[in-house]
């Protein structure tokens, strides 16, 4: 069985989380009148309410204490919100950069396609175009560039041999069955 000391060593004693979303994290605040539990905004609201109650009751020391607690959590929340906003802006900048890169690549591909479509007509030798002026010119790509897969030729099937004629069936008496019925006289 573990002792309470070994368990307490692993706990994060300060109220600052080691990571994650501070804005939605639940804190245990040890205030002057006991623990206050909740998200930073809930704790701020609770300490502000306790501050107002202490001011109305005339207890200036408790009022100042509650105000300081509320201010602490207000600063904690503001810092967390600034970090979240900075991360969001960084991600937006990265997304804009990625989109700009995709747009540049798309433009380059379109230009390459346009140049590729215009290129074969410009690169043809003049004598080849004049020799076959009435025939359309078909530019065949190299085998490696075509993207087609080479398939083996199918062997032609051999012609089937005709079947051998059937042997006449034998009857149970051992005689073969008559091939044609005899005509009645």
pLDDT in tens, 45-90: 999 999 999 999 999 999 999 999 999 999 999 999 999 999 999 9
Contact by Cβ (8 Å): 63, 70: no
Least confident of 122-126, 155-159, 161-165, 171-175: 122-126
Q: 């010119």: which residue's tokens?
A: 137
Contact by Cβ (8 Å): 54, 66: yes
- Measured in degrees and rounded to the nearest 5, phi and psi for residue 174 equal 100, -15
Least confident of 49-53, 76-80, 97-101, 162-166: 162-166
Of 16, 77, 17, nearest in space to 44 by CA: 77
pTM of the model: 0.45
Of 36, 61, 60, nearest in space to 47 by CA: 36
Please measure the distance between the N-terminal and C-terminal CA atoms of the chain and give it in whole angstroms: 117
Report residue 185 as tokens.
């006289």
Confidence label for 24 from pLDDT (cuts 50, 70 and 90): confident
Angle, CA of 21, 22 and 28, to the nearest 5°: 130
Q: What is the DSSP letter of 130?
A: H
Facing residues of 176 across strands?
170
Q: Where are the domains of the chain?
A: 20-120
């Amino acid at each position: 069985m573990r002792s309470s000391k070994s368990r307490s060593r692993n706990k994060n004693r300060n109220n600052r989380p080691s990571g994650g979303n501070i804005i939605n994290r639940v804190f245990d605040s040890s205030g002057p009148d006991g623990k206050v539990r909740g998200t930073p905004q809930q704790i701020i609201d609770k300490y502000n309410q306790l501050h107002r109650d202490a001011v109305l009751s005339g207890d200036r020391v408790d009022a100042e204490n509650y105000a300081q607690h509320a201010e602490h959590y207000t600063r904690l929340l503001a810092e967390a919100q600034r970090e979240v906003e900075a991360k969001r802006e960084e991600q937006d900048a990265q997304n804009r950069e990625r989109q700009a890169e995709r747009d540049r690549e798309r433009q380059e591909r379109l230009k390459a396609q346009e140049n590729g479509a215009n290129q074969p007509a410009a690169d043809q030798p003049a004598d080849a175009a004049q020799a076959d002026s009435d025939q359309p010119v078909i530019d065949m790509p190299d085998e490696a560039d075509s993207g087609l897969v080479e398939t083996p030729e199918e062997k032609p099937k051999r012609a089937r041999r005709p079947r051998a004629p059937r042997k006449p069936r034998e009857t149970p008496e051992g005689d073969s069955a008559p091939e044609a019925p005899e005509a009645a006289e």
